[in-house]
C-alpha cells in the first residue's frame, strides 16, 4: 500500500470503528479529516515538540515592565491557546488595549495589579489582584493593567487562540498615533495640540506613578458595574486532595464571566502522577510554576513523545490527545493549566477501564479476567509515588 492509500485506509478504518457507518464517509468528512491534519499535523509525521522554554527568551521590554510570549510562532503546535508571562514595575501600565482574536485569562503569581475593563454594554469594573487571583476579559473587551507595588508584579496570561498576538492586539497609543490630530481634536473636543506630545509609536508598558491604594474615580464618576465580576480568587478555593497531590479548578460554573477558558492549578508531590487522560472538548496550555517533571503525549497511530519540563516552560496538548504529567523531581511540582473551554471535561484511564465489563478488558489485552481485579475500581486522577491503590484515590470531599 502506498503511504497515501494506507493513510486513507487507516482514516476510513478509524471512522468505521467509531459511531459513523461506512455510508457516513462523505466528501464532507474527507474535508473534516484534512482540517484535522492541518491542526494536529499529518498522522504519518512524528508528534512535534510540545514544550517551549518561555522564560529563557529575551521578551519585549519597555520602561514599565516586560513580557515574554508563547504563540504559534514560538511553539507551532499551540494552535488553540497562547500564553504570556508579564512583569510590571510598581506604576508600570500595560496600556489600554483589546484583543481582536482571543479572550484573556490570567493568574497572578506575585505582587499586585489593578485592572479596568469595559464591556460593550457600557458597564466597567476596576479590580485589585494579588497572588493566587484570576481575571477573565472576554474577546474584544477593552482593558488596562497597572502594577500597584510594592515590588514587581508577575502574572501569566492565557489566550484562547494560538495566533492572538500578531495583528490581534490593538493598543490605544498606537491607534491615536495612527489617527490624524484633526480627527482626534473633533472626536474629543480638545485642541489638536493636545496630542502633540503623545507617543508616536505603541507605548506598550509605559511607566507611571505608583497608584494610590484607594481607586481614583474615572472621568464619568461612578462606574456602572457588570452583573458578572471579572475577578476570581482561585487559591482561596479548597483544593481537591489526593495522596499524590491536589488540584484547584475554576470553570464557568464557579466564575460565570469565564465562558471561554477553564483554569487549573495542579500540584504534585515528588513521584506523583496526574494519570493518563484526555480532554474531549479542549486543548490544554501549561505554564510550569515550580519544580520539574515529565509529560508523555500519545498521538494515535503508534505516535508518542515524552518531554522533560522545568520552571518557566510552556507546554501544549492538542484536544483529544492522551497525556500524563509526572513529578520526576525531589520537590513539589506546581503547574498552571488553561483549557479553551469554560466547561471542564476529561476522561481518566483508571475510570475508563473500571467502567468496562471485565471480559472486554481481558479480550482487549489478552490477559485473564481475574488479573484486572488488582486494577483501581474507581477514578485515580492523581497517583502517589508508590502507585495507585485498588480503591482508586477518589476525591476527598
Ligand atoms: Mn490584554
Ligand atoms: Mn490534561
The active-site residue, picked from 39, 166, 182, 308, is 166
Task: Give the residues across from 82 on adjacent strands.
Answer: 159
Of the candidate ranges 4-13, 120-129, 134-143, 379-388, the one whose mean pLDDT is the lowest? 4-13
pLDDT by residue (tens digit) across 331-345?
999 999 999 999 999
Residue 311 CA to ligand 1 center (angstroms) comes to: 23
Mean pLDDT, range 33-48, rounded to an integer: 64
Mean pLDDT, range 212-225, rounded to an integer: 94
102 pLDDT above the threshold of 50: yes
| pLDDT value, residue 70 | 97
Q: Which of the pair, 26 or 172, is modelled with greater confidence?
A: 172
| pLDDT value, residue 4 | 39
The answer to whether residue 141 is catalytic is: no
pLDDT by residue (tens digit) across 351-397?
999 999 999 999 999 999 999 999 999 999 999 999 999 987 665 43
| pLDDT value, residue 89 | 98
**Closest-lying ligand to the alpha carbon of 296?**
2
| pLDDT value, residue 351 | 96
Asked if the domains at 51-232 and 237-383 fall in one CATH topology, the answer is: yes
Mean pLDDT, range 122-137, rounded to an integer: 98
Mean pLDDT, range 134-159, rounded to an integer: 98
| pLDDT value, residue 167 | 75
34 pLDDT above the threshold of 90: no
Share of the chain above pLDDT 90, in %: 86
User: What are the domain boundaries of the chain?
Assistant: 51-232, 237-383
17 pLDDT above the threshold of 60: no
Mean pLDDT, range 212-237, rounded to an integer: 96
320 pLDDT above the threshold of 80: yes
The active-site residue, picked from 79, 95, 104, 202, is 104
Mean pLDDT, range 124-132, rounded to an integer: 98
36 pLDDT above the threshold of 70: no
Q: Pairing mode, if any, of strands 284-290 and 273-278?
A: unpaired
Mean pLDDT, range 254-268, rounded to an integer: 98
| pLDDT value, residue 40 | 52
| pLDDT value, residue 394 | 60
The active-site residue, picked from 51, 141, 143, 230, is 143
**Closest-lying ligand to the alpha carbon of 113?**
1
Q: Mean of the per-residue pLDDT values for the chain?
A: 90
| pLDDT value, residue 396 | 43
Q: Which of the pair, 160 or 11, is modelled with greater confidence?
A: 160
| pLDDT value, residue 344 | 98
The answer to whether residue 99 is catalytic is: yes
The active-site residue, picked from 68, 97, 112, 230, is 97
Mean pLDDT, range 36-57, rounded to an integer: 80
Q: How confident is the model at residue 44 (pLDDT cuts 50, 70, 90)?
A: confident
Residue 134 CA to ligand 2 center (angstroms) comes to: 20
**Closest-lying ligand to the alpha carbon of 345?**
2
The answer to whether residue 104 is catalytic is: yes
The active-site residue, picked from 40, 51, 99, 323, is 99
Mean pLDDT is highest, among 33-47, 284-298, 382-396, for: 284-298
Q: How confident is the model at residue 26 (pLDDT cuts 50, 70, 90)?
A: very low
**Closest-lying ligand to the alpha carbon of 96?**
1
| pLDDT value, residue 28 | 38
2 pLDDT above the threshold of 80: no
Share of the chain above pLDDT 70, in %: 88
The answer to whether residue 40 is catalytic is: no
* Full-model pTM: 0.89
CATH fold of the domain at 237-383 = Jelly Rolls (2.60.120)
31 pLDDT above the threshold of 60: no
| CATH code of the domain made up of 51-232 | 2.60.120.10
Amino acid at each position: 500500500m502506498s503511504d497515501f492509500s494506507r493513510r486513507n485506509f487507516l482514516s476510513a478504518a478509524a471512522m468505521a470503528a467509531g459511531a459513523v457507518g461506512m455510508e457516513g464517509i462523505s466528501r464532507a468528512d474527507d474535508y473534516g479529516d484534512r482540517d484535522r491534519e492541518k491542526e494536529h499535523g499529518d498522522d504519518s509525521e512524528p508528534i512535534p515538540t510540545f514544550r517551549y522554554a518561555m522564560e529563557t527568551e529575551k521578551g519585549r521590554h519597555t520602561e514599565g515592565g516586560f513580557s515574554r510570549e508563547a504563540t504559534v510562532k514560538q511553539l507551532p503546535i499551540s494552535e488553540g491557546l497562547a500564553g504570556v508571562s508579564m512583569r510590571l514595575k510598581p506604576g508600570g501600565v500595560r496600556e489600554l488595549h483589546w484583543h481582536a482574536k482571543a479572550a484573556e485569562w490570567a493568574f497572578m503569581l506575585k505582587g499586585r495589579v489593578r485592572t479596568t475593563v469595559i464591556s460593550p454594554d457600557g458597564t466597567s469594573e476596576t479590580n485589585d489582584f494579588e497572588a493566587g487571583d484570576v481575571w477573565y476579559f472576554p474577546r474584544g473587551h477593552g482593558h488596562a493593567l497597572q502594577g500597584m507595588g510594592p515590588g514587581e508584579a508577575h502574572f501569566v496570561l492565557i489566550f484562547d487562540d494560538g495566533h492572538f498576538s500578531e495583528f490581534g492586539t490593538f493598543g490605544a497609543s498606537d491607534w491615536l498615533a495612527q489617527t490624524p490630530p484633526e480627527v482626534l481634536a473633533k472626536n474629543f473636543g480638545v485642541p489638536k495640540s493636545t496630542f502633540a506630545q503623545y507617543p508616536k509609536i505603541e507605548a506598550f508598558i509605559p511607566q507611571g506613578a505608583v497608584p494610590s491604594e484607594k481607586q481614583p474615580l474615572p472621568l464619568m464618576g461612578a462606574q456602572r458595574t457588570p452583573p458578572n465580576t471579572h475577578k476570581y480568587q482561585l487559591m482561596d478555593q479548597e483544593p481537591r486532595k489526593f495522596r499524590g497531590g491536589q488540584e484547584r479548578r475554576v470553570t464557568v460554573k464557579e466564575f460565570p464571566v469565564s465562558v471561554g477558558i477553564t483554569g487549573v492549578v495542579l500540584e504534585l508531590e515528588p513521584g506523583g502522577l496526574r494519570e493518563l487522560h484526555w480532554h474531549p472538548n479542549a486543548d490544554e496550555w501549561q505554564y510550569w510554576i515550580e519544580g520539574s517533571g515529565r509529560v508523555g503525549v500519545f498521538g494515535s497511530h503508534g505516535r508518542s513523545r515524552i518531554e522533560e519540563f522545568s520552571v518557566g516552560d510552556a507546554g501544549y496538548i492538542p484536544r483529544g490527545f492522551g497525556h500524563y504529567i509526572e513529578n520526576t523531581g525531589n520537590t513539589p511540582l506546581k503547574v498552571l493549566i488553561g483549557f479553551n473551554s469554560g466547561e471542564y471535561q476529561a476522561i481518566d484511564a483508571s475510570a475508563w477501564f473500571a467502567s468496562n465489563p471485565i471480559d472486554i478488558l481481558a479480550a482487549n489485552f489478552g490477559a485473564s479476567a481475574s488479573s484486572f481485579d488488582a486494577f483501581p475500581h474507581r477514578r485515580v486522577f492523581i497517583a502517589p509515588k508508590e502507585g495507585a491503590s485498588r480503591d482508586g484515590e477518589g476525591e476527598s470531599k
